[in-house]
Amino acid sequence: MKGPIYAGADRALVRLASGELICVDTNSLDAIDYLLGWDMEADVLPLFRSFLKPNSVVLDIGANFGLYTAISASRMRDHGLLYSFEANPHTFELLKRTLYANRLAHRPNVTAVNALVGESTGRGTLHYLPEFLGGATMTDIGQWGEAKRSIELDMITIDEFLPAGLAVDLVKIDVEGHEPLVIRGMQKAIRRSPNIRIFIEFVEAFLS
């Protein structure tokens, strides 16, 4: 990974070694890896990339700054479909900047969604620390104390959101312990997707 190519107003635009641009919040601890030029997700991304095809249908659930979104879109270009979900409104703005920086914001096959993803539609509460945006979770972590922020947001399910009959090829889920509920809300999509591959990152202490 290369260093930042722009920094200012608590934002930095970082170019990955593979060429994609990622917009990060420099106040968030999970931006440090990007700013120092470390290889991101080095143990997972090579395998994830190996499943990406130009015509893939990809879901990035818990997109954060947009690492997997940008990498997926650069492989797919004008083919396939990419759906990127990020619940935190502040982080979603950074995701949108990542899309703009990579000329993806107006691409018809790329959709960014600002909502919680779960097992039912309705409303849900997201808890997060401003200094660690990547740790946002629906699990109320008591030890965070007064530093914790909470926000009520719309919640959707993958089964109700996706077009009827659409088969999915590749999914990344990283929602800090809410992963089982995301899976429950996409059972129809899984059943109709014989070639689906699902990458799940979870923190055991946060599991719902």
Q: What is the 3-state secondary structure (H, E, C) of 16-82?
A: CCCCCEEEEECCCHHHHHHHCCCCCCCCCHHHHHHHCCCCCEEEEECCCCCHHHHHHHHHHCCCCEE
Is residue 2 domain-resident?
no
The predicted structure's pLDDT at residue 9:
79
Range of the domain at 136: 39-206
What pLDDT is attached to residue 136? Answer: 66
Domain count, the chain: 1
Q: What's the predicted TM-score (pTM) here? A: 0.89
Confidence at residue 41, expressed as pLDDT on a 0 to 100 scale: 78
- Residue 31 is assigned to a structural domain of this protein: no
Is residue 193 assigned to a domain?
yes
**Would you say residue 111 lies in a domain?**
yes
CATH code, domain carrying 94: 3.40.50.150
pLDDT given for residue 4 in this prediction: 62
What pLDDT was estimated at residue 37? Answer: 78
> Can you list the residues of the chain whose pLDDT is less than 50?
none
* pLDDT tens-place string over residues 147-202: 578 889 899 999 999 999 999 999 999 997 789 999 999 999 999 999 999 999 87
- 182: in domain: yes
Contact 84, 71 (CB under 8 A): no
Domain membership of residue 73 (yes or no) is yes
Please state, in angstroms and rounded to a whole number, the distance separating the CA atoms of residues 170 and 179: 15
32 part of a folded domain: no
- Confirm whether 10 is domain-assigned: no
